[in-house]
Chain A
Amino acid sequence: MALPKYTETRYRIWHYFYIAICTFVFIFLIAPLFVIFPLSFNAEEFLVFSEGMKNLDPDAFSLRWYKDMVYGTKNPWGLAAKNSFIIAIFATLGSVILGTVAALGLSSRHMPFKGIIMATLISPMIVPLIISGVAIFFFMAKAGLAATHTGIVLAHIILGTPFVVITVTATLSGFDHSVTRAAASLGSNPVNTFMKVTLPLILPGVISGGLFAFVTSFDEVVVVLFLAGLENTTIPIQMWTGLREQLSPTILAVATCLIVLSTLILISAELLRRRSERLRGINR
């Protein structure tokens, strides 16, 4: 972003002002995540930087909150993590299967009532979560699924499928349908064609939709707050209760782990996006 030599002073000033604003916004976006990192290694119980930490004294840092997270007595995090992963994995599977199949139908040019069906399918993404929570709670309570894993998994499938539908339809929009016709003309049945030809080509879209569904489920708290009993506690629920009652450094240790996890997810999502763009480039 070097400026040409002939730039007038006022534009020069404006340019530096613009750069300053952008720097500020980037710091505003990313800095909060980095505050958690050092504080989770705090040797003391307070959530502020101690004098020792400011002077980089090694004694001021410790792993005690990580130990507390894993080994702490009557610690809820183990159960919460187990539940979170189980629920998120099953919810992702459900969302991916239902969403991908629906996206295949939606992308067909023969699909009747496309607009209204698409609007219905992605409505859980548009309707505020609190309303989804109330509605889903009413259903689960009636079906006797409140405070069960099944109920929460079903609820997360509802919330996760719109992401899969959107990413997979987007991938399919660049999909060359002559390859499936070629497969059919060579004697392949539709299921075989889907598994051998279509799926490998749209896989990046499917997986990135799955990642969205996973994160949605893993991070979801509003609906779970309505549905969960003591046995179904999840990481977000534990964080929510922790943040409401007292902000303990153990929460920061958990938060750090979650940031590491989200970094991994970000990297895989980016790689997938690039791969998908490359594949679509070939198809054109």
Chain B
Amino acid sequence: MSSETKQILTTDGIPLEISLKKAERKNKIKAFLLVAPLLLFLIITYIFPIGEMFTRSIDDKMITNMLPKTFKSMETWDGKELPSEEVFVSFLSDFKILVEKKEHGKLAQRLNKEKNGFNTITKKLFRQVKRNKIDETQSIKEQIMKVHKRWRNVEYWQAIKRTAPPYTSAKYLKAMDMYLNEDNKITQVSEDRRIHRILWLRTVEVAFFVTVFCFLMGYPIAHLLATLPMKYSNLLMICVLLPFWTSLLVRTASWMILLQQQGVVNDFFVMIGLVADDNRPEMMYNKVGTYVAMTQILLPFMVLPLYSVMKTISPSLMRAGKSLGGTPFVAFWKVYFPLTIPGIGAGCLLVFILAIGYYITPALVGGASGTLISNQIAYHMKTTLDWSFASAMGLMLLGGVLVIYWLYNKLVGVDNIKLG
């Protein structure tokens, strides 16, 4: 009885609790509707295509669709000896359809990737089929085996069977310089062909050292900017913000001019007698160029978060540390430095994430020894057109970045990203 009398009613006679909940739900829907257009737009044009990269990277349906009957009859084959007559019959019928559709070339190409030698024997079989030399009334197995001795070799039939699954991890293995061998075991490619692992390592190495350089250079100037009086620090801030707002390509171009053999930096080294005029070091088209240019380009991303954290640290803390008997170094190390750790985390992870996906600058000043994994992705997208391989490498890179991003979120929080 008492609870009923205490229940507050709105003017419409609805209990207040229900009315509030209703309003709450309405507000929720309203807020969501505001976000919905952008969210939908991004999901359709961006998130979904990234998912498509995944299906593309593992997709291996081409042969599965080309030889449906063959794979059906291969299901019962143990793969140790030559397959039965039935497999040969269905293979021939699949092959005839491909010849009609003029797709046998594609088949040969793809099978040749699986095992060398398919090109020749597929061509030979094609000629026999074209001339109607194969007599359907006799044993197809015998006739195909006569076309070329490799058709008698069980390894080639095993290779065909390996292409049966519609999905493959081959592209991911390739990106790690590995492949599946005849026994379905992961094997490393021969040492002279291991190029991707070097690129991954180099990408991580460059990103790591660029982050370290940015930290070493960014920390002192962020400190200076945060401690100087406003009117000086505003002026010096321009030195950080102007490069930040300037086109990436402009900055890369200026480094190309500075670092070339007849460039200003080399001129300066000759002038102060560091190097001989006829022995100017090559500073561009190698790792030195990549490091120098990337450090300068990414430095503002280190300085800005550091600055915004340092700005909030009261100078009286350092004075207190000193007055309690600490030397300036001790006061700095025990008081100031720990307070700047959030800024360090934000700056380092921001720079690292940006550096690990860098493309333009390494491509222009990096030369052959300065190219990174992103250059390889672009190369496969634009030149070899192996889009599934590019997708696989892209997703591996994305996986790495997401791990770092997750760390960043744990340590600093995404909401704390500050711009300018």
Docked Cα-Cα span, A9 to B401, in Å, equals 47
Question: Which parts of B225-249 form the interface with A (CB within 8 Å)?
Answer: 227-228, 236, 238-243, 245-249
Cα separation A166 to B24 with both chains bound (whole Å): 25
Does B317 have its Cβ within 8 Å of any Cβ on chain A? no
B142 CB–A CB distance under 8 Å: no
B residues in contact with A270, CB < 8 Å: 241
Contacting pair B246 A259 (CB below 8 A): yes
Of the candidates A126, A135, A139, A165, which one forms a contact with B401 in the assembled complex, judged by CB atoms under 8 Å apart?
A: A126
A79 at the interface (CB under 8 A from B): no
Are A266 and B38 within 8 A (Cβ)? Answer: no
Distance in angstroms from A2 CB to nearest chain B CB is 11
By beta carbon, the residue of chain A nearest B398 is A131
* Bound complex: CA A36 to CA B264 (Å): 11
Residues in B391-411 with C-beta less than 8 Å from chain A: 391, 394-395, 397-398, 401, 405, 409
- Cα of A111 to Cα of B299 in the assembled complex, Å: 36
Q: Does the CB pair A101–B378 fall under 8 Å?
A: no
**A112 beta carbon closer than 8 Å to chain B:** yes
- The answer to whether B364 and A244 have CB atoms under 8 Å apart is yes
A90 at the interface (CB under 8 A from B): no
| A43 interface contact, C-beta 8 A | no
Q: Is A225 an interface residue (CB 8 A)?
A: yes
A102 touches B52 (CB 8 A): no
- Do A117 and B254 touch across chains, with their CB atoms under 8 A apart? no
Closest residue of chain B to A137 (Cβ to Cβ) is: B381
The verdict on A129 contacting B359 (CB below 8 Å), with A112-B28, A139-B45, A208-B420 known, is yes
A226 CB → nearest B CB, Å? 7
Closest Cβ–Cβ distance, residue B357 to chain A (whole Å): 2
Contact check, B228 vs A236: say whether CB atoms are below 8 A apart. Answer: no
The interface bits of chain B over 94-132 (1 if a CB of A lies within 8 angstroms of the residue's CB, else 0) are 000000000000000000000000000000000000000
Q: Please indicate the chain B residues that have their CB under 8 angstroms from the CB of A98 in the complex.
A: 37-38, 41
Tell whether A215 is near chain B: CB-to-CB under 8 Å.
yes
> A110–B420 contact, CB under 8 A?
no
Choose from A49, A104, A110 the contact partner of B264 (Cβ within 8 Å).
Answer: A49
Shortest Cβ distance from B23 into A: residue: A110
- Cβ of A230 under 8 Å from chain B: no
Q: Is the CB of A135 within 8 A of B35?
A: no
Question: Which residues, 244 to 274 on A, are CB-close (under 8 Å) to B?
Answer: 244, 247, 251-252, 255, 258-259, 262-263, 265-266, 269-270, 273
Within 8 A of A (CB), among B282-333: 296, 299-300, 328
A179 within 8 A of B: no
Instruction: Tell me if B378 and A33 are in contact (CB < 8 A).
Output: no
Interchain CA distance A49-B33 in the complex, whole Å: 59
Q: Which of A29, A99, A112, A236 contacts B32 (CB 8 A)?
A: A112
Q: What is B's interface to A at a CB cutoff of 8 Å?
A: 24, 27-28, 30-39, 41-50, 52-53, 56, 217-218, 220-221, 224, 227-228, 236, 238-243, 245-258, 260, 262-264, 267, 296, 299-300, 328, 353, 356-360, 363-364, 374, 377-378, 381-382, 387, 390-391, 394-395, 397-398, 401, 405, 409, 414-415, 417-420
Chain A residues proximal to chain B, CB less than 8 Å = 1, 11, 18, 21-22, 25-26, 28-30, 32-33, 35-36, 39, 47-49, 98-99, 101-102, 104-106, 108, 110-112, 117-124, 126-139, 154-155, 157-158, 161, 163, 165-167, 170, 208, 212, 215, 218-219, 221-222, 225-226, 236, 239-240, 243-244, 247, 251-252, 255, 258-259, 262-263, 265-266, 269-270, 273
Give 5 nearest A-B pairs by CB, closest first. Answer: A128-B357, A105-B34, A108-B31, A105-B35, A32-B254
